[in-house]
């Protein structure tokens, strides 16, 4: 067994759509199923990290019905009964609440680590060590929820922040803090202040909790969702499960786990770490990951058949080597192609790619 004890579980959230990585990431094939960086898809990388913490039968997948066949293709070793699917998208709050209720039904002593399937973690060993430390903290302090805080490397305006409070404990070389507050995505000036203060960490959305305590907090702060997931969980294994799931889940509010519980609970800890983390949230982030040695003399990086003339600091990711992508006189651009689309965006503006997806939805293209 890789687990610290038999009651540990890892819940991989795999229902996101990743609209900011269009055109590679689409609603039908989101970024977690893409090979963005490295030899494996992001969801395969998340699974490989999880199995260093728990065995396959203690890894659960939370996703939308439509992605189940994709997940099975990428993660064939996960038992079918460990797939928890929602019939409609309702954000991370209801999805995590349902998964926690179902795991709790199976194991009332369960401790759950919730992570995302579409993130990049370069320092895998440090990640595993940190998660195991977080589990140990929650085992010894079951009335607390622990969040993993990422030591910021820049004044990022596309991420939420966690402000630390007083020191709570020192465990396995890590200092764990009480949290002061969660902060939504700040403007650039505020982000700079947060980073320079040394008191703020990026919110990666990685949490550790005892299932029983989580459900008690859910009952307090989201009673409608609590009643619904308990009702659903009671029918698990029966012929009524699918109907009850469909009927109850659609009633839930579309709300993140941060808004549902984390911003309200009084017993919240933060474990700051440096694990080489990225949410791979935009093409700018992907461009920044490209190693200097992989660029040409003009600072360009290309995949596919590309001709650059008088072009500098530009990233070209072409899906089809049989087609030529040619640039002239570009500086600081990102170009991404697929069979369906070509996106050309100045570096620094790739967060706006999600506007393209919105426009496509409006025009029903």
Percentage above 90 pLDDT, the chain: 81
Q: What is the pLDDT of residue 99?
A: 98
Dihedrals φ, ψ of 14, to 5°?
Answer: -135, 35
Query: How is 245-289 classified by DSSP, letter by letter?
Result: HHHHHTTS----HIIIIITT-S-EEEEEE---EE---SHHHHHHH
Please tell me the distance from the alpha carbon of residue 121 to that of residue 43, in angstroms, as a whole number.
12
Q: Is pLDDT larger for residue 351 or for residue 54?
A: 54
Scored b (16 or more CB within 10 A) or e, 132-151 reads: bbbbbbbbebeebbbbbbbe
DSSP codes of every residue in 51-80: TTTS-GGGEEEEEEGGGHHHHHHH-TTS-G
DSSP one-letter code for 81: G
pLDDT tens by residue, 53-88? 999 999 999 999 999 999 999 999 999 999 999 999
Residue 89 near residue 254 (C-beta atoms within 8 A): yes
Tokens read off for 36: 């963005």
Cβ pair 10, 3 in contact under 8 A: no
The full length of the chain comes to 365
Question: By C-alpha distance, which of 99, 113, 82 is closest to 225?
Answer: 99
pLDDT value at residue 19: 79
Per residue in 284-324, pLDDT tens? 988 988 888 999 999 999 999 999 999 999 999 998 899 99
How is the chain split into domains, by residue range? 8-278, 284-363
According to DSSP, the β-strands at 8-13 and 120-121 are unpaired
Residue among 122, 127, 111 nearest 42 (CA): 122
Domain 8-278 indexed as CATH 3.90.550.10: yes
Q: What is the mean pLDDT of the chain?
A: 93
Given a contact cutoff of 8 angstroms between Cβ atoms, the answer to whether 347 and 365 are in contact is no
Asked if residue 302 lies in contact with residue 258, where contact means CB atoms within 8 angstroms, the answer is no
- Residues 161-190 pLDDT 10s: 999 999 999 999 999 999 999 888 899 999
- What token pair was written down for 188? 């650039």
Mean predicted confidence (pLDDT) in 334-356: 93
286, 280 Cβ separation under 8 angstroms? yes
SS3 (DSSP) at 145: strand
pLDDT band at 17 (very low <50, low <70, confident <90, very high): confident
Residues 110, 210 contacting (CB under 8 angstroms) = yes
Measured over the CA atoms of residue 183, residue 189, residue 191 and residue 195, the dihedral's sign is negative
- At residue 158, the pLDDT reads 81
Predicted confidence at residue 4, as pLDDT, reads 54
Beta bridge partners of 150: 202, 273
Could you report how far apart the first and last alpha carbons of the chain are, in Å? Answer: 49
**pTM of the entire structure?**
0.90
Please write the tens of the pLDDT for every residue from 335-345: 999 999 999 99
Mean pLDDT of 218-239: 97
Q: Which two tokens stand for residue 110?
A: 């369960």
Lowest mean pLDDT among 11-15, 87-91, 154-158, 187-191: 154-158
pLDDT tens track for 232-283: 999 999 999 999 999 999 999 999 999 999 999 999 999 999 999 999 888 9
Q: What is the pLDDT of residue 179?
A: 96
pLDDT at 3: 45
With a cut of 70, say whether residue 1 has pLDDT above it: no
């Amino acid at each position: 067994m890789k687990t610290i004890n038999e009651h540990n579980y890892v819940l991989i959230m795999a229902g996101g759509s990743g609209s900011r990585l269009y055109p590679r990431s689409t609603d039908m094939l989101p970024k977690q199923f893409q090979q963005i960086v490295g030899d494996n898809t992001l969801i395969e990388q998340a699974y490989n990290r999880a199995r260093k913490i728990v065995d396959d039968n203690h890894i659960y997948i939370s996703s939308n019905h439509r992605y189940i066949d994709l997940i099975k293709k990428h993660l064939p070793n996960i038992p079918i009964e460990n797939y928890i699917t929602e019939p409609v998208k309702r954000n991370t709050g209801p999805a995590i609440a349902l998964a926690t209720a179902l795991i709790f039904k199976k194991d009332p002593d369960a401790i759950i680590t919730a992570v995302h399937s579409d993130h990049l973690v370069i320092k895998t060993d440090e990640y595993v060590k940190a998660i195991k430390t977080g589990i140990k903290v929650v085992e010894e302090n079951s009335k607390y929820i622990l969040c993993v805080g990422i030591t910021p490397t820049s004044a990022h305006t596309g991420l939420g922040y966690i402000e630390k409070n007083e020191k709570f404990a020192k465990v396995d070389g890590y200092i764990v803090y009480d949290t002061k507050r969660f902060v939504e995505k700040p403007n650039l000036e505020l982000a700079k202040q947060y980073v320079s203060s040394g008191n703020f960490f990026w919110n990666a959305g990685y949490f550790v909790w005892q299932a029983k305590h989580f459900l008690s907090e859910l009952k307090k702060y989201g009673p409608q969702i609590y009643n619904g997931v308990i009702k659903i969980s009671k029918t698990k294994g029966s012929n009524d499960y699918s109907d009850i799931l469909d009927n109850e889940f659609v009633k839930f509010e579309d709300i993140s786990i941060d808004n549902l519980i984390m911003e309200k609970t009084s017993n919240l800890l933060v474990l700051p770490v440096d694990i080489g983390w990225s949410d791979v949230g935009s093409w700018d982030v992907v461009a920044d990951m490209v190693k200097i040695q992989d660029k040409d003399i003009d600072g360009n990086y290309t995949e596919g058949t590309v001709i650059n003339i008088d072009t500098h600091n530009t990233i070209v990711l072409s899906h089809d080597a049989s087609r030529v992508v040619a640039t002239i006189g570009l500086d600081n651009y990102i170009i991404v192609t697929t069979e369906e689309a070509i996106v050309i965006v100045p570096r620094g503006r790739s967060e706006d790619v999600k506007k393209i997806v919105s426009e496509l939805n409006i025009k029903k293209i």
